[in-house]
Structure 1
């Protein structure tokens, strides 16, 4: 077997993810982190006192939506093929 044939059979060493994948991964992580930060707080130091702020729009609608959007971006980043050529 010649050297040329051996080199052709060796797998190329290339990363699975490229720069574009990592960019979307970090954007998704930022959305998830922001969602969890917005969900925090609203509690009360005294267990006998009810704080209705726990049911605010920010904690019930906005924060979970940001977390779900972040998870969607993560899935997109994993499935993204940066080598695909545009038409």
Structure 2
């Protein structure tokens, strides 16, 4: 009896890219979170309109989604062992 070798849709590099994209998204969303107001009657303009919250965090989130989409669309390379099994 020959054992059938199963092939996965993703390989190791796809999963690494997928995890990296998710981490970029998590970091972006964490940077976007603002601190809690100490006094509800005061308006803290510096914290609310911080460049990190307005520019860096959204860029990281968009970059994370781009990496996730790329990791899903990337076609894994076919190894020599897989070619022999298919023939």
Q: TM-score if structure 2 supplies the norm length?
A: 0.77
1:36 and 2:32 aligned: no
Q: Which moved more, 1:23-32 or 1:38-47?
A: 38-47
Higher Cα radius of gyration: 1
Query: 2 CA distance for matches of 1:40 and 1:72?
Result: 21
Matched-pair contact (CA < 8 Å) for 1:43–1:51? no
For structure 1, the 5+ residue unaligned runs are none
Query: Structure 1: which 4+ aligned runs deviate by more than 3 Å?
Result: none
For structure 2, the 5+ residue unaligned runs are 80-87
Q: Which residue of 2 aligns with 1:70?
A: 64
Q: Which residue of 1 aligns with 2:40?
A: 47
Q: Which residue of 2 aligns with 1:79?
A: 73
How many residues are paired up?
A: 77
Query: 2 CA distance for matches of 1:42 and 1:51?
Result: 10
